[in-house]
Structure 1
């Protein structure tokens, strides 16, 4: 089946791309299969992962690379094996583009595709099996992804609101639901930013009794409270923050990507039996040293969480519609992508930038 469109996007061709030096160029998408969907991109959120990848912060990037894994647009080509999506549907793609999808896989067969390591392909900077080529992301005119990882966007949700939920939103939604967020629980969200603001919104929507925003400075306190937080901790502006709030939280989700975070202090905020989940990843992946006595003496648990499955994305989007969750986003034209990633890295977003492909939106 011939198509009347070509694949163009902002390509990073070396680490300097992260400094706003991506180039608009043509690229060759993965080889078409009848399990795939082509999406005419209208919106794409900017995620911190994009910048880490552009500069090879998480390992060597396979340049050229088109980033962007918070993709929303219109399905314009649908494979014959795809039953739940039709041409014209408004759809989205998050951070994952493929897993093994085998019935004998412990993860794919139980709705945990995000933890499959066989034939896993990220939405960008990945290589498909069977010689199908590379994966390219959503800072582009079109995207091609396996249909299993393409989700329908519910009616009643703006595309610019849906886009950043496909990675940023589900990255905090998944650990909240898997670690008991709900009535009777007190939840802390470390980092009031792109991920953290979703954490506050979803923790409240899931019914937590108390939600606490945690950041370095008091400058984000008003925003955290407006988002729905019941209290706020500023770790750099209150020298007694850990002592004053010891053993007050059941669950902490840490969204920060800082290898120098005050991790011991965060752990001291947990009640015995409490859980700390890390979702942010510093360049190099290293976290501060953990004192064993802190874990043993307080009976706390520490873990991590990786994005979310397609099923969890769909569930989260429906919750957002049902609870009227509105993320704080600022739209930027796709033509302005280079400046937008620079502004994102400088912390200017409040709290998520979404690129709008004005040719298609």
Structure 2
């Protein structure tokens, strides 16, 4: 038993994505001695939250508390936990569990984010049928393997969006080798702005932002972008054909100009999709791949090891994401503003009732 209650903004149906979440008490996952309870101070808002609230990707097991960019204080520690101490400032990203078995190829290789038994930080169901609940709340309970100690140099409002948004871009830029390459980032939003920051930090030869219009060009250059391509400009594909070695696409749209994006790649270039639209990706010509031997792949969040490495890089290089703080009490309005494209570039909910 604990002397605190798990309360948060619960979605009860698809209309909860329309600003109709309700603050109420809920039952967290069944406690185990591998778990950590976290008193939440900050939680970033991610596009995944909206997709889940409206059952866009799959039917959501309502009630659901979203939010998987969680920062707070460890207040209860399982007996099996050794790397977290009570009172530590910790964080949780988009994953709350994997099988962690030695005969699982993914877990054994340290890529737990691809484990088929992956349980998301919210909207997930464990083997005992208890559910995972996220960070639009006052407390969170997560398996300690997926709880990270936050370096002192990183402010909590910066650390929160790193744990999903940042990790989602750090992973492919590291895996497919941004260093020394001409990198393109499609979309300058919460994810895309991390793409610019991390591509530069990882030693890209150049970074180009690809967006529909020139509206965000000034921001892109302030973040460190060397070039900017607006797909609304006539002939953009031909003008910049073959100019990039690696493209990471953050856009979640089934109407994006996929054919044009592939034309931007040089011989043996790589296109990585991280945005997850609710409908299939657009069609493209097979010859776009064949003649230039282009690779198309995808990337999912990041492993615990990569998240720890990313946090250290942020601390060492003093990387500063662009965030806007919003009181937790205003979460319903915040998700409406998020859908309207207002963040520059990540909203972070701040629990006004949190006391250290």
Aligned partner of residue 188 in structure 1, secondary structure: strand
Q: 1:68 corresponds to which residue?
A: 67
Q: 1:186 corresponds to which residue?
A: 182
**Equivalent residues in 2 for 1:128-147, closer than 5 Å:** 128-131=126-129, 133-147=130-144
TM-superposition CA deviations, 1:4-61 (whole Å, max 9, x none): 1000000000100001000001000001000000000000000000000000100111
Matched residues in 2 for 1:64 and 1:130: separation?
17
The count of residues paired between Structure 1 and Structure 2 equals: 355
Counterpart among 219, 233, 251 of residue 246 in structure 2? 251
Q: Which stretches of structure 1, 4 residues or more, deviate above 6 A after TM superposition?
A: none
TM-superposition CA deviations, 1:226-273 (whole Å, max 9, x none): 00000000101x111111100010000000001000000000000001
User: Does 1:330 pair with 2:304?
Assistant: no
Q: 1:170 corresponds to which residue?
A: 167
Aligned partner of residue 57 in structure 1, secondary structure: coil
Q: Report the Cα offset of residue 130 of structure 1.
A: 2.9
**Equivalent residues in 2 for 1:1-361, closer than 5 Å:** 2-118=1-117, 120-131=118-129, 133-183=130-180, 185-236=181-232, 238-284=233-279, 286-360=280-354
TM-superposition CA deviations, 1:175-212 (whole Å, max 9, x none): 000001112x1000000000000000000000111000
Matched residues in 2 for 1:65 and 1:111: separation?
29
Matched residues in 2 for 1:310 and 1:301: separation?
26
Aligned partner of residue 40 in structure 1, secondary structure: strand
Matched residues in 2 for 1:301 and 1:283: separation?
23
TM-superposition CA deviations, 1:38-87 (whole Å, max 9, x none): 00000000000000000010011111000000000000000000010010
Aligned partner of residue 291 in structure 1, secondary structure: coil
**Structure 1: 5+ residue runs without aligned partners?**
none
Matched residues in 1 for 2:213 and 2:26: separation?
43
**Structure 2: 5+ residue runs without aligned partners?**
none
* CA root-mean-square deviation: 0.7
Matched residues in 1 for 2:261 and 2:317: separation?
29
Aligned partner of residue 155 in structure 1, secondary structure: coil
Aligned partner of residue 198 in structure 1, secondary structure: helix
TM-score under structure 2 normalisation? 0.99
Matched residues in 1 for 2:320 and 2:108: separation?
32
Matched residues in 1 for 2:23 and 2:331: separation?
10
Q: Report the Cα offset of residue 329 of structure 1.
A: 0.2
